[in-house]
């Protein structure tokens, strides 16, 4: 799957531009709904990724793009749930996460990509 962080706050995936965080679930792209995690924002300056969100748990690997500077907080419960499900998490800055996607068939992509911080 071709994905690129083209600018701070802007992704391009398969030729389509996105200016918000996205979730890729077996190749299907949707906007990340941060709502369930907003109550946890007080712990840091950013809304963290929590297991209360609709995480794409369908594959054996979940790629998390942690933002332009890698500052997206990830709640420990996300890692715990992944371990329980036998899913490996790869969390790295979004630019690098996008490079990982290049080698994966779109139907096999399970990812969350943060576009800022």
The domain in which residue 80 lies consists of: 3-113
Q: Are 94 and 67 in contact (CB under 8 A)?
A: yes
Q: How many domains does the chain have?
A: 1
What's the pLDDT score for residue 45? Answer: 76
Q: Which residue bears the tokens 């794409």?
A: 56
Q: In what order do the strands lie in the sheet with 3-7?
A: 3-7, 10-13, 16-18
Chain segment 55-104, per-residue pLDDT in tens:
999 999 999 999 999 999 999 999 999 999 999 999 999 999 999 999 99
Q: Is the pTM of this model over 0.85?
A: yes
The CATH number of the domain holding residue 67 is 3.40.1230.10
C-alpha count within 13 angstroms, C-beta hemisphere, residue 116: 9
Chain segment 9-55, per-residue pLDDT in tens:
999 999 999 999 999 999 999 999 999 999 888 767 789 999 999 99
What's the pLDDT score for residue 23? Answer: 98
């Amino acid at each position: 799957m071709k994905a690129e962080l083209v600018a701070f706050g802007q992704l391009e995936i398969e030729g389509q531009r996105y200016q918000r965080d996205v979730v890729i679930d077996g190749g299907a792209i949707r906007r990340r709904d941060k709502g369930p995690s907003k109550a946890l924002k007080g712990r840091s300056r950013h809304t963290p990724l929590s297991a209360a969100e609709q995480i794409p748990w369908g594959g054996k690997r979940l790629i998390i793009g942690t933002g332009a500077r890698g500052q997206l907080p990830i709640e420990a419960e996300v890692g715990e749930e992944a371990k329980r499900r036998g899913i490996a998490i790869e969390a790295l800055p979004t630019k690098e996460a996008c490079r990982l996607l290049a080698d994966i068939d779109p139907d096999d992509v399970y990812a969350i990509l943060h576009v800022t911080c």
